[in-house]
Amino acid sequence: MIAVLCAIRQEISPLVACMNVSKKYSIDEVLFYQGDLNGRPLTLVQSGIGRENAIKAASCLLESTSVDLLISAGVAGGIRHGLKVGDLVVAERVGYTRQDDFDGEELQLESEFVCKEEIVRLARQYSNDPESKLHFGNLLTVDKVISRASTKRRIGEQNSFLAVEMESAAVAKVACEKGVGFAAIRSISDDIDDDLHLDYDNLISDEGKVKVTSIALSVLKNPQKLALLSRLNKQTKTAARSLAYFMTKLVPLIDTNFTNFPGQKTPWT
């Protein structure tokens, strides 16, 4: 079984729309969709934003479902020139840092995880697909949204990472501990020149959910933020649709190439 974990509804909805969902349920507030994608079995998981929520959701998934490959998917912020909104990053490695100050310090990695080479190799078959612009390299998982363009530039210029996000290393940690194959695929929702100008610490709850009321109050206090939020929402939708399109191609390809027959050792471990 292949499982895909996304953080928020906006990321997972286009994928759900592509699936034939046979079962929708929740365990400990983690939302699951089970069914098939183009005839191939697939489980989708909506975790909530951030490391702790991703660990909880991935653990819940692997304790309740037999999974061969766990993919961390969703949107990310580009930190290299040449990555545009809707472009896809297929991770070769995922690093994690606890840092929240990147402007005055060198990057300190807490951990690093290697993604399944077989998945990267299969994804390369679509590198010339005009509908999906792919980049291959490293992702950086952080604990807070990096909203300033200058900070994104600094990280990108001084390190090998292509994009930043908030869940993949946590998903990789759980997958590694459980002996499950891991991959990460992210779609760019904001590029290196995007200044987001939002106080995300006050807009995201401890449960990893967007605080709609806080956003509304923020807009009332500063109506100019409405245009920014509208643009970011549009970019997120573009990124999510791009991700969903690519996954509809990749998941059946993975399933075809790595089907487990009775008595056959799983190729992911």
Q: Domains in the chain, please, with CATH?
A: 2-196+239-257 (3.40.50.1580)
Handedness of CA 148, 153, 159, 165 (dihedral sign): positive
Please write the tens of the pLDDT for every residue from 154-207. Answer: 888 888 999 999 999 999 999 999 999 999 999 999 889 887 665 545 544 444
Please write the tens of the pLDDT for every residue from 20-52. Answer: 999 999 999 899 999 999 888 999 999 999 999
**In the chain, pLDDT over 70 holds for what percent of residues?**
83
**Quick one: DSSP state of residue 201?**
G
Which secondary-structure segment (H or E) carries 56? helix 51-64
Please write the tens of the pLDDT for every residue from 57-113. Answer: 999 999 999 999 999 999 999 999 999 999 999 999 999 999 888 877 788 899 999
pLDDT at 261: 30
**For the whole model, what pTM was predicted?**
0.86
**Residue 112, helix vs strand vs coil:** strand
Task: Identify the residue whose tokens are 């990310």.
Answer: 76
pLDDT at 265: 35
3-state helix, strand, coil in the chain (%, to 5): 40, 30, 35
Q: Residue 72 burial (CB < 10 Å; 0-12/13-18/19+)?
A: buried
Please write the tens of the pLDDT for every residue from 1-20. Answer: 899 999 999 999 999 999 99
